[in-house]
Chains A and B, each alone.
Chain A
Amino acid sequence: MEKLPFERPVIKKLKAGMPGKFGMKTGVAPVTHIDQVAVSDLIAEHGSPLFVISENTLRRTFREAKRAFETRYPKVRFAWSYKTNYLNAVCNVFHQEGSWAEVVSGFEYEKALALGVEGQHIIFNGPDKSYDDLIRAIENRSLIHIDHFDEMYMLHEISVKTGSKPRVAIRVNMDTGVYPMWDRFGFNYENGEAWDAINRIMTSGKLELTGLHTHIGTYMLSADAYRIAASKLAELAEGLVRRYGKTIDYIDIGGGFASKNTLKGAYYAGTDTAPDFDDYAEAISSAIVNSQISPDNMPLLILETGRALVDDAGYLLGTVIANKRLSDGRRATILDTGVNLLFTSFWYEHQINPAQPVSDHTEETTIYGPLCMNIDVIREASVMPLLKKGDNVVISRIGAYNMTQWMQFITTRPRVVMIDAENKIHVIREKEKLETINSLERVPEHLKKFKL
Chain B
Amino acid sequence: MRLKKNIAVSETGFVFDPNSGDSYSLNDIGLEIVELLKQGRSDSSVLTALNSRYDIDRASLEKYYHDFVSMLKYYRLTEERPDAGADSGHNPGIQPQ
Q: What chain A residues lie within 8 Å of B22 (beta carbons)?
A: 13-14
- A190, CB-defined interface residue at 8 Å: no
Q: What chain B residues lie within 8 Å of A13 (beta carbons)?
A: 22-24, 75
Which of A14, A329, A361 has a CB less than 8 Å from the CB of B91? Answer: A329
- B80, CB-defined interface residue at 8 Å: no
CA distance in complex: A323, B60 (Å): 12
Q: What chain B residues lie within 8 Å of A5 (beta carbons)?
A: 54-55
Q: Are A9 and B27 in contact (CB under 8 A)?
A: yes
- B43, CB-defined interface residue at 8 Å: no
Q: Are A3 and B55 CB-contacts (below 8 A) given A325-B94, A359-B27?
A: yes
CA distance in complex: A134, B93 (Å): 66
Q: Are B24 and A11 in contact (CB under 8 A)?
A: yes
Q: Are B71 and A11 in contact (CB under 8 A)?
A: yes
Q: Are A9 and B23 CB-contacts (below 8 A) given A3-B53, A325-B94, A327-B94?
A: no
What are 24 A-to-B residue pairs whose CB atoms are below 8 Å? A5-B54, A6-B54, A7-B28, A8-B27, A8-B29, A8-B67, A8-B68, A9-B26, A9-B64, A10-B71, A11-B15, A11-B30, A11-B68, A11-B71, A11-B72, A12-B25, A14-B23, A16-B23, A325-B67, A328-B94, A329-B93, A329-B94, A359-B27, A361-B25
- In chain B, residues 26-64, which have Cβ atoms closer than 8 Å to a Cβ of chain A? 26-30, 32-34, 53-56, 60-61, 64
Q: Are A8 and B70 in contact (CB under 8 A)?
A: no
A361 CB → nearest B CB, Å: 4
Q: What chain A residues lie within 8 Å of B32 (beta carbons)?
A: 9
CA distance in complex: A163, B48 (Å): 88
CA distance in complex: A361, B72 (Å): 17
Which of A9, A12, A359 has a CB less than 8 Å from the CB of B65? Answer: A9
Q: Are B30 and A6 in contact (CB under 8 A)?
A: no
Q: Are A11 and B25 in contact (CB under 8 A)?
A: yes
- In chain A, residues 192-244, which have Cβ atoms closer than 8 Å to a Cβ of chain B? none
- A44, CB-defined interface residue at 8 Å: no
Interface of chain B, main secondary structure: helix
CA distance in complex: A10, B71 (Å): 8
Interface residue total, chain B, C-beta cutoff 8 A: 31
Which of B24, B74, B94 has a CB less than 8 Å from the CB of A14? Answer: B24
CA distance in complex: A4, B52 (Å): 9
Q: Are A6 and B68 in contact (CB under 8 A)?
A: no
- A388, CB-defined interface residue at 8 Å: yes
Which residue of the partner chain A has the closest CB to B56? A6
- A386, CB-defined interface residue at 8 Å: yes
Q: What chain B residues lie within 8 Å of A328 (beta carbons)?
A: 91, 94
A13-B22, A389-B60 given; name 11 further pairs at CB < 8 Å: A9-B30, A9-B33, A9-B65, A9-B68, A11-B15, A11-B24, A11-B34, A327-B94, A329-B71, A359-B28, A361-B25
Q: Are A323 and B67 CB-contacts (below 8 A) given A9-B27, A12-B25, A14-B24?
A: yes
Q: Are B29 and A9 in contact (CB under 8 A)?
A: yes
B73 CB → nearest A CB, Å: 10
Q: What chain A residues lie within 8 Å of B67 (beta carbons)?
A: 8, 323, 325
Q: Are A325 and B70 CB-contacts (below 8 A) given A6-B54, A386-B27?
A: yes
CA distance in complex: A323, B26 (Å): 18
Q: What chain A residues lie within 8 Å of B26 (beta carbons)?
A: 9-12
CA distance in complex: A7, B53 (Å): 12
Which residue of the partner chain B has the closest CB to A12? B25
Which of B29, B70, B71 has a CB less than 8 Å from the CB of A7? Answer: B29
Which residue of the partner chain A has the closest CB to B32? A9
- In chain A, residues 267-296, which have Cβ atoms closer than 8 Å to a Cβ of chain B? none
Interface centre among A359, A361, A388 (most CB of B within 10 A): A361
- In chain B, residues 10-25, which have Cβ atoms closer than 8 Å to a Cβ of chain A? 15, 22-25
CA distance in complex: A3, B58 (Å): 13
CA distance in complex: A10, B55 (Å): 17
Interface centre among B26, B27, B30, B53 (most CB of A within 10 A): B27
CA distance in complex: A153, B94 (Å): 67
Q: What chain B residues lie within 8 Å of A327 (beta carbons)?
A: 94
Q: What chain B residues lie within 8 Å of A14 (beta carbons)?
A: 22-25
Q: What chain B residues lie within 8 Å of A10 (beta carbons)?
A: 26-27, 30, 68, 71
Q: What chain A residues lie within 8 Å of B28 (beta carbons)?
A: 7, 359
CA distance in complex: A5, B54 (Å): 6
CA distance in complex: A359, B53 (Å): 18
Q: Are B27 and A6 in contact (CB under 8 A)?
A: no
CA distance in complex: A359, B93 (Å): 26
Which residue of the partner chain A has the closest CB to B74? A329
Which residue of the partner chain B has the closest CB to A327? B94
The 4 A-B residue pairs with the shortest CB-CB distance, nearest first, are A3-B55, A361-B27, A6-B56, A9-B30
